Chain A
Amino acid sequence: AIQMTQSPSSLSASVGDRVTITCRASQDIRNDVGWYQQKPGKAPKVLIFGASTLQSGVPSRFSGSGSGSDFTLTISSLQPEDFATYYCLQDYTYPWTFGQGTKLEI
């Protein structure tokens, strides 16, 4: 199975900060990566698919980039509601695999 190595595992930041989360795949997966946000006790929510396409309704402060094996999620200016855990997910081949998650904390 393809391994997704996500970093950092946790991140402390403040409102207004710019933050970056990265995922590295164990092989070339083209641009077949999504980014998901999860808040405590809630189901995940898709933010980005196809490495860089913003899902409808997601604020434009979220952006994704990368191709091949290195991918990045960037939040340009943190808002209070962005404090959550973020996961990358490769959908290049089955089994799909998630990164370990990044907990974004104040």
Chain B
Amino acid sequence: QVQLVESGGGVVQPGRSLRLSCAASGFIFSRYGMHWVRQAPGKGLEWVAVLSFDGRTPFYGDSVKGRFTISRDNSKNTVFLQMTSLRPEDTAVYYCAKEEVRYGERFAEYWGPGALVTVSS
């Protein structure tokens, strides 16, 4: 069965960097786009980034563009989110999600349990 497990969360000071990982299993990882979505405490969902199956085409949300970088290692079935210049407003649970395309429609089919990132001095 499909499993996604995020890791690398924790407490970090403003202005510092952190890298999240998402280990995938149960599907052919190299065939699917992967997303990151976050949720600040008590708030709604915010889409963060996506990376194509081959790692060539990233897209970012406006609030993280230029600070966050999504990448993947298809040999290790892992997608990463490198976060730099972190701000208190980046505090959130970060979810990775596997993209599916069915009948020409894209959606986030499977999600990990999330990793909490707290940006605080």
A residues with CB within 8 A of B? 1, 31-32, 34, 36, 38, 42-46, 49-50, 53, 55, 87, 89, 91, 94-101
Contacts and interface: CB of A to CB of B under 8 A. Distances in A.
Interface residues of B, number: 24
B47 A98 contact: yes
Contact of A43 (B50, B61, B62, B114): B114
A95 B60 contact: yes
Contacts of A99: 44
Interface of B: 35, 37, 44-47, 50, 59-62, 95, 102-109, 111-114
A101 B46 CA distance: 11
Q: Among B35, B44, B46, which residue has the most Cβ atoms of chain A within 10 A? A: B44
A30 B59 CA distance: 21
A34 to B, nearest CB: 5
Interface residues of A, dominant DSSP = loop
B108 A44 contact: yes
A101 to B, nearest CB: 4
Contact of B107 (A91, A97, A98, A101): A91
Contacts of B109: 46, 55
Contact of A95 (B61, B108, B111): B61
Contact of B103 (A45, A53, A97, A101): A53
Given A43-B113, A95-B59, A38 B45 contact: yes
A87 B45 CA distance: 8
Contact of A94 (B59, B103, B104, B111): B59
